Amino acid sequence: HGSEHSFPTRRSSDLTQQMKGVYFVSGIDTDIGKTVATGMLAKRLLQQGKSVITQKSVQTGCQDIADDIAVHRKIMGIPIQEADKQGLTMPEIFSYPASPHLAARLDGRALDLDKIRTATQQLAAQYEIVLVEGAGGLMVPLTENLLTIDYVQQQAYPVILVTSGRLGSINHTLLSFAALKQYGISLHSLIFNHIHDSRDENIVQDSLAYLKGRLKTDFPDAEWMELDKTETDERSSENA
């Protein structure tokens, strides 16, 4: 194993070949590996010759530059882009490491949803594919009266959901599935991130088999992807 993460080789007819437009990357929980998964998916799309960029809609616990965007670029193997310098890929940055509604309150300024939406639209005009990484999970409050899932529903973005083989993942994934169904949001794919697997192989294998089966039943059109467990640079998965 090298220090690179890798998606296993998949059939060429997989859904990444047909990807176009804006996708919202969410996770079943915080620290599930969304950032690495977003970076790896972008890298894979680049390798297919696609024009792709990642955006972090709201970054908390940072100043000036979004840490997660720096991780994306490193994984993608490209330098900081012009869109990054313009702030389009990191429209809202708050210094306090907390949920956006709390981080905004503690920083003493409101989160600007229009600014986020406009930045995403500008990226979508420049790139074939935009992967928008959210903060935490689907029910994380963006403002006092708007949840992440409300925003995703309003924008009609398909969701790429990141899960893992750690204890509790089945419950969190099924809760996320139920929420997506309730809000009428389409699930593009489920990424099973082995980086955060339980040390108990029985749990990992059962979670994988169970979730794969549930995905087929609940979202038959969605793609199943796995992110290999390789020696990982801890810093890049810490804030994912």
Banded model confidence at residue 236, pLDDT cuts 50, 70, 90: very low
Region 44-52: mean pLDDT is 96
Q: Put the strands of the sheet holding 159-164 in their side by side order.
A: 52-56, 129-137, 21-27, 159-164, 187-193, 223-227
CB 228 within 8 A of CB 8: yes
Q: Per-residue pLDDT for 26 more than 90?
A: yes
Q: How far apart are CA 184 and CA 178, in angstroms?
A: 10
56 annotated active-site? yes
Q: How far apart are CA 123 and CA 22, in angstroms?
A: 9
- The whole-number pLDDT of residue 179 equals 98
Region 52-59: mean pLDDT is 98
Kindly tell me the number of DSSP H helices and DSSP E strands found in the chain: 9, 10
Catalytic residue among 20, 43, 50, 56: 56
Q: How far apart are CA 102 and CA 144, in angstroms?
A: 8
- The whole-number pLDDT of residue 103 equals 97
CA angle, corner 213, sides to 209 and 217, nearest 5? 170
Token pair for residue 72? Answer: 């994306």
DSSP secondary structure letters along 93-146: EESSSS-HHHHHHHHTS---HHHHHHHHHHHHHH-SEEEEEEEEETT-EEETTE
Banded model confidence at residue 230, pLDDT cuts 50, 70, 90: low
- Between the alpha carbon of residue 35 and those of residues 10, 101, 178, 179, 219, the distances in Å are 21, 20, 23, 22, 23
- Model confidence pLDDT, tens digit, residues 120-165: 999 999 999 999 999 999 999 999 999 999 999 999 999 999 999 9
What is the reported pTM? 0.91
Region 76-101: mean pLDDT is 97
DSSP secondary structure letters along 173-199: HHHHHHHHHHHTPPEEEEEEEGGG--S
- Model confidence pLDDT, tens digit, residues 201-211: 999 999 999 99
Find the length of the chain.
240
